[in-house]
Amino acid sequence: MNAPQRPSVLSALQRRFLRKLAALIVPETEGASASVTDAMISAVDDQLRPRPRLQQLEFKLLLLGLGWMTLLPRGWRVWLLHRLDNFPLRLVRVGLWGLKTLIYLGYYGQEPIQQRIRYLPSRLEGNVRLRAHQLPSEG
């Protein structure tokens, strides 16, 4: 028996904005397959789902505020995003870092991407290897 389908936090328009913004933050997503970008968006949605409604609304408002950027040429979008990273209003900077964190989690958290970039942490003994200064290729 399948688990009931949980409603998505993000609308189709918000997902489209997120996909376009992700291409600025992780350029590899721009040419990625639909399965990769869909998994990224789903991971972001999964992280937002248990959050309080107010926090979900704040994220949606951030997407709405940044969504107009998707109409600009790519060079302008990149320039503007870098400018917003140092925006004087702390709330904007925190929102951007939250957005970036969720996009990184959604993209780099996928097993095929981890394998492609050779990020293969040991699920059992990662801390032991870290303390011993052992790289994964050293056995």
Q: Would you kindly state where each structural domain of the chain is located, as residue ranges?
A: 12-108
The CA-atom distances, in angstroms, between 132 and each of 4, 124, 127 are 45, 14, 9
Helix (H, G, I), strand (E, B) or coil at 69: helix
The reported pLDDT for the residue numbered 137 is 60
Say if CB 21 and CB 99 are below 8 A apart. yes
Q: Which residues of the chain have pLDDT under 50?
A: 139
Q: What is the pTM of this model?
A: 0.81
Residue 70, pLDDT score: 87
